[in-house]
Amino acid sequence: MTDEQVPTLYDWAGGGEAFERLTENFYRKVLADDLIGPLFAHMDPAHPRHVAMWLAEVFGGPAHYTSERGGYAHMLAHHLGKAITEPQRRRWVSLLVDAADEVELPDDPEFRAAFMGYIEWGTRLALANSQPGATPPREAPVPQWGWGVAPPYQG
Ligand code: HEM
């Protein structure tokens, strides 16, 4: 397969509509959850759609989160100071996997490995950036996640 023939994770998942189904299902679970529900008690009703836009952009879809929603800086601002704990992060991940299964995102090993790779990475960064005194970069591009294996971290 040449590079031009490799579908994006966004296309493989089923496009924007698939991410909207995912986040609608996910945030219904989140709001009913005793451990992380309270963090989201005052969220904007459009929050699920905004996170779907973010995920679509990360996985190779249109850059609407950047053009319409303030991109990385806006996402980051929502996590600063939230002091997310590891049990809360793990619950977020578990509920997202449950939602991915319920809305029938593709379940082939390659897609799920790539999808979960981003979710692990993103939730660990969200936790770190949410701690009191954290000083993450305030500006950065929205990450672009693909099928490949991530290279080792070099600080
Ligand atoms: C891959 C991991 C994650 C992604 C991609 C993500 C994405 C986002 C985005 C895009 C927003 C802003 C939405 C907007 O534009 O309105 C947001 C807000 C938020 N996120 Fe995350 N997030 C992640 C992990 C987490 C985790 C692990 C937690 C906590 C357990 C969390 C808690 C929140 C909260 C509380 C808000 C603000 C909700 C409100 O409007 O009140 N996030 N997230």
pLDDT in tens, 4-63: 688 999 999 999 999 999 999 999 999 999 999 999 999 999 999 999 999 999 999 999
Beta-carbon contacts of 84 under 8 Å, excluding residues fewer than 6 positions away, are: 39, 126, 127, 130, 131
Q: Considering the entire predicted model, what is its pTM?
A: 0.95
| Position 151 pLDDT exceeds 70 | no
- pLDDT for 5 equals 81
Crossing angle of the two packed helices 16-31 and 47-58, in degrees rounded to 10 = 130
Whole-number Å distance, alpha carbon 78 to ligand 1 midpoint, is 6
d(CA 115, CA 55): 10
In angstroms, the CA 74 to CA 1 distance is: 37
Residue 154 clears pLDDT 90, i.e. is over it = no
With a 6 Å cutoff on the Cβ, whether 59 touches ligand 1 is no
How many residues make up the chain in this entry? Answer: 155
Count Cβ atoms below 10 Å from residue 142 Cβ, excluding itself: 16
Q: Which of 57, 48, 59 is nearest to 20 (CA)?
A: 48
Determine the pLDDT at residue 3.
64
Q: What is the mean pLDDT of the chain?
A: 95
Q: Does the C-beta of 39 come closer than 6 Å to ligand 1?
A: yes
For the Cβ of 40 lying below 6 angstroms from any atom of ligand 1, the answer is yes
Q: Is the minimum distance from the CB of 29 to ligand 1 under 6 angstroms?
A: no
Nearest residue (CA) to ligand 1, atom 7: 51
Does 74 count as an annotated binding residue?
Answer: yes
Indicate if the pLDDT at residue 118 is higher than 90. Answer: yes
pLDDT in tens, 62-112: 999 999 999 999 999 999 999 999 999 999 999 999 999 999 999 999 999
